[in-house]
Amino acid sequence: MIQGELSIFISLIIMLAGIFALAKLENRIFKLIFSVIPPLLFCYFLPSLFVQYGIINIGESDLNGTLAKTILPFCIFYFSLGLPVKKLKSIGNQPLILFLVGAFGVIIGGPISLFISHLFFPSEFNAESYKGMATIAGSWIGGTANQMALNAIFLPKADELAKAVTVDVFFGETWLAVLLFMIPFQQKINAYFKAKYNQNSIDLDWQEDLNEKKFTFSNLIYILGLGFLVVMLSNVFGKYLADLIGISFLNSSFWTFLLCTLTGLLLGLSSIRRFYKQGADVVSTVFLYFIIASIGLKISLSHLFSTPLLLFTGFIWISIHGLAIFVVGKLIKAPYHYMAIASQANVGGIASASVVATAISPSLAPLGVILALLGYAIGTYGGYISALLMQWVSLTY
């Protein structure tokens, strides 16, 4: 039996290494498994099985709480730092409009789907039903880091979070498949939408965002030092602001994430932004998976598929997002590739947006990265607004 926070943390590192090592194998069986079940789900649910079968004893330890206060703000800071603010103007209005419309679709889609689902499954809801759904809103506007941030702010029950993760991954992957399926038909879609765009806009050349620079000892130590300094100061000022303002839903976690985001965006305008591609992106992603695995320690799988509400709510929600993207795309006569990339920058994050962009044209990959980074910058706060609207629906109905 593994117990104690340090031993559990080490075991999670080993587990994560094993998951991604198996995902890279060329073995047919493993390739089939990981094509159906993304590695992300294994990172959530394997720790739960280890706890359930007595391999890990979490006891009184709160590893997730510790990581959420330290390395999660670290991740939010560096993902915000990576946003190339100066280049947002150069990508034109259509991608930015579609991205913001997609985010708006997620924000309003949460309370609308909650209201509709409540009409059909009233017994499945209570005053705290919105908390798990709040994490989906963060994920579908930004990414997993925003999902974890909203989890730290609203603190849903472990079972509710497990259901939310399932909805997030299932419909996120399904929507990605739909967008990829429609790529061969994009010319017909563009003709129907009467799309107007400059063909040269596809040939973007942002080498800075494509080139990955080598790790060095100096870079790594600076990245860690700067990141944890920002986290420490944000935690201190976050607690001060929470006490000063005294509004319950503007707690210290909210202020910590807000300060980390703003600091990242401001420093991203300086030469410090180079740290993002010199290792901070990799370090932050690794830290993020530690947080995911630590959350898995508290998840119980027994009630995961206990209600059809999961599929019903998720379908309505992703449909509202997709409808918003395509309706506004038709109105502004945007091409399909902008709609698909903007949508995946919301729902899927950097990896999925890059996949869709590359499938259309490799030169569009930087656009997917930049829009996804923008999602990281606004995801926590867009998700927060959606969560407050869902809270209102829960309390009203």
Q: What span, in angstroms and rounded, lies between the C-alpha atoms of 183 and 196?
A: 17
Residue 232 and residue 350 in one domain: yes
Residues with Cβ within 8 Å of 210's Cβ and at least 6 positions away in sequence, in order, are 365, 366
Residue 233 and residue 310 in one domain: yes
Whether 371 contacts 357, CB under 8 Å: no
pLDDT digits (tens, 9 = 90+) for 191-201: 988 887 655 45
Residue 304: what pLDDT?
Answer: 54
Residue 39 and residue 93 in one domain: no
Number of domains in the chain: 2
Residue for token pair 């995801």 = 379
| Banded model confidence at residue 212, pLDDT cuts 50, 70, 90 | low
Q: What span, in angstroms and rounded, lies between the C-alpha atoms of 47 and 299?
A: 8
What is the DSSP secondary-structure string of 24-68?
A: T---HHHHHHHHHS-HHHHHHHHHHHHHHTTSEE-TT--HHHHHH
Mean pLDDT comparison of 58-72, 166-180, 326-340, highest-scoring range: 326-340
Q: What span, in angstroms and rounded, lies between the C-alpha atoms of 346 and 355?
A: 13
User: Counting Cβ atoms within 10 Å, is residue 265 exposed (0-12), middle (13-18) or buried (19+)?
Assistant: middle
Residue for token pair 């198996």 = 22
User: Does the structure show a pLDDT above 60 at 225?
Assistant: yes
Asked which of 46, 61, 76 is the last residue of a domain, the reply is 61
- In the numeric block, which tokens belong to residue 100? 């913001």
Give residue 30's domain range.
Answer: 1-61
Q: Which residue has the higher pLDDT, 203 or 156?
A: 156
CA 93 to chain centre: 24
Asked which of 61, 77, 100 is the last residue of a domain, the reply is 61
Residue 249 and residue 298 in one domain: yes
Q: What span, in angstroms and rounded, lies between the C-alpha atoms of 192 and 343?
A: 19
Tell me the CA end-to-end span of the chain in Å, nearest whole number. Answer: 45
User: Does the structure show a pLDDT above 60 at 206?
Assistant: no
Residue 18 and residue 126 in one domain: no
pLDDT digits (tens, 9 = 90+) for 281-291: 889 888 988 88
Residue 193 and residue 214 in one domain: yes
Whether 141 contacts 375, CB under 8 Å: yes
Residue 20 and residue 87 in one domain: no
User: Does the structure show a pLDDT above 70 at 320?
Assistant: yes
Candidates 25, 138, 69; CA nearest to 385 is 138
Provide mean pLDDT across the span 204-223: 69
Q: Which residue has the higher pLDDT, 361 or 211?
A: 361
Rounded mean pLDDT of the chain? 85
Residue 210: what pLDDT?
Answer: 45
Residue 244 and residue 336 in one domain: yes
Residue 73 and residue 185 in one domain: yes
Residue 74 and residue 56 in one domain: no
Asked which of 44, 61, 78 is the last residue of a domain, the reply is 61
Provide mean pLDDT across the span 52-59: 85
Residue 233: what pLDDT?
Answer: 96
Residues with Cβ within 8 Å of 343's Cβ and at least 6 positions away in sequence, in order, are 98, 102, 175, 179, 321, 322, 325
Helix (H) or strand (E) holding 209: helix 207-210
Q: Which residue has the higher pLDDT, 121 or 18?
A: 18
> Looking at beta carbons, which pairs linking 28-35 to residues 24 or more positions away fall under 8 Å?
none
Residues with Cβ within 8 Å of 344's Cβ and at least 6 positions away in sequence, in order, are 175, 176, 179, 352, 353, 355, 356, 368, 372
Residue 311 and residue 219 in one domain: yes
Residue 166 and residue 155 in one domain: yes
Provide mean pLDDT across the span 158-182: 84
pLDDT digits (tens, 9 = 90+) for 353-371: 877 887 787 667 778 878 8
